[in-house]
Amino acid sequence: MTDQAPAAATESPDIPGKPTSASRTTLSHIMTHNDTNLLGTVHGGVIMKLVDDAAGAVAGRHSGGPAVTASMDEMAFLEPVRVGDLVHVKAQVNWTGRTSMEVGVRVLAERWNESTPATQVGSAYLVFAAVDADGKPRRVPQVIPETERDRRRYQEAQIRRAHRLARRRAIMELREKRAAEGFED
Ligand SMILES: CC(C)(COP(=O)(O)OP(=O)(O)OC[C@H]1O[C@@H](n2cnc3c(N)ncnc32)[C@H](O)[C@@H]1OP(=O)(O)O)[C@@H](O)C(=O)NCCC(=O)NCCS
């Protein structure tokens, strides 16, 4: 099964694994007028900063040290966020490789003027690399999924990882081919 045990090639036998719950984090923030765009709703970049902050805290907790954002993908904005909303940014490690981690983030908004449950307003997937004092990648503990939802997220993260690698490889091949054909950018 690929959903439960991390792939053998990425195992770090001398570093004990860590359960998903050990680093799961929620960051909450009330939106103010300083956070708005020209339409008066919250600027997407403000939400992306919170997403990166929450994911970074999770990556640091899981890896036990500094971790840097390597990529952010599939950032989705599902509903507008408004001034006064209490925004909760929930993040957890979905998957771990040798030195990198995929962190999944869900963004929820509690509307200040409605007594409705928090609405999901966004989501994103980020890859963090754990780094040492010289900024070089260092090994991370394998994440141990604990629930069926964690296991589904682990499997889905494996699919995203395969797509990221395949896309990068295809683009590099195309560039090499164009260079060999004498095209210049
Ligand atoms: C991320 C970084 C440490 C990778 O360093 P590198 O020398 O390319 O090292 P590697 O190629 O060995 O990559 C390290 C890991 O990150 C992953 N990775 C690197 N670039 C990635 C990308 N663009 N997307 C997804 N994963 C990536 C690799 O797959 C590898 O994972 P693995 O060990 O689990 O297989 C380096 O590019 C860096 O420091 N980037 C700047 C990060 C930063 O400053 N972020 C804040 C933005 S201001």
pLDDT at 11: 52
Torsion sign over Cα 142, 76, 91, 146: negative
**pTM here?**
0.92
72: which residues sit within 8 A by CB, 6+ positions away? 48, 51, 52, 124, 125, 126, 127
Model confidence at 184, in pLDDT bands (50, 70, 90)?
Answer: confident
Is the residue at 17 inside a domain? yes
Is the residue at 175 inside a domain? no
103 lines ligand 1 (CB under 6 A): no
pLDDT in tens, 45-98: 999 999 999 999 999 999 999 999 999 998 999 999 999 999 999 999 999 999
Q: Are 41 and 78 within 8 A, CB to CB?
A: no
Q: Which domain holds residue 120?
A: 13-145
Is the residue at 180 inside a domain? no
Buried b (16+ CB within 10 A) or exposed e, 138-149: bbbbbbbbeeee
29 lines ligand 1 (CB under 6 A): no
pLDDT at 14: 82
Computed on alpha carbons and rounded to an integer, the radius of gyration of the chain in Å comes to 19
Closest CA to 144 of 80, 92, 106: 92
User: Exposed, middle or buried: residue 15 (CB in 10 Å: 0-12, 13-18, 19+)?
Assistant: middle
Specify the ligand 1 atom closest to the Cα of 99. Answer: 33
Closest Cα to atom 41, ligand 1: which residue? 70
Specify the ligand 1 atom closest to the Cα of 69. Answer: 45
Alpha helices in the chain (DSSP H): 44-63, 148-180
Distance in Å, CA 45 to ligand 1 centroid: 22
Is the residue at 6 inside a domain? no
pLDDT at 70: 97
Specify the ligand 1 atom closest to the Cα of 129. Answer: 16
Number of domains in the chain: 1
Is the residue at 40 inside a domain? yes
pLDDT at 31: 98
Closest Cα to atom 44, ligand 1: which residue? 68
Is the residue at 46 inside a domain? yes
Closest CA to 120 of 96, 99, 90, 145: 90
DSSP 15: S
Is the residue at 88 inside a domain? yes
Return the number of other C-beta atoms located less than 10 Å from residue 14's C-beta: 6
pLDDT in tens, 122-173: 999 999 999 999 999 999 999 999 999 999 999 999 999 999 999 999 999 9
pLDDT at 8: 37
182 lines ligand 1 (CB under 6 A): no
173 sits in the region (left: phi over 0; alpha: psi -120 to 50; else beta) called alpha
Closest CA to 79 of 122, 118, 37: 122
pLDDT at 13: 63
Domain at 82, CATH number: 3.10.129.10
Q: Are 40 and 83 within 8 A, CB to CB?
A: yes
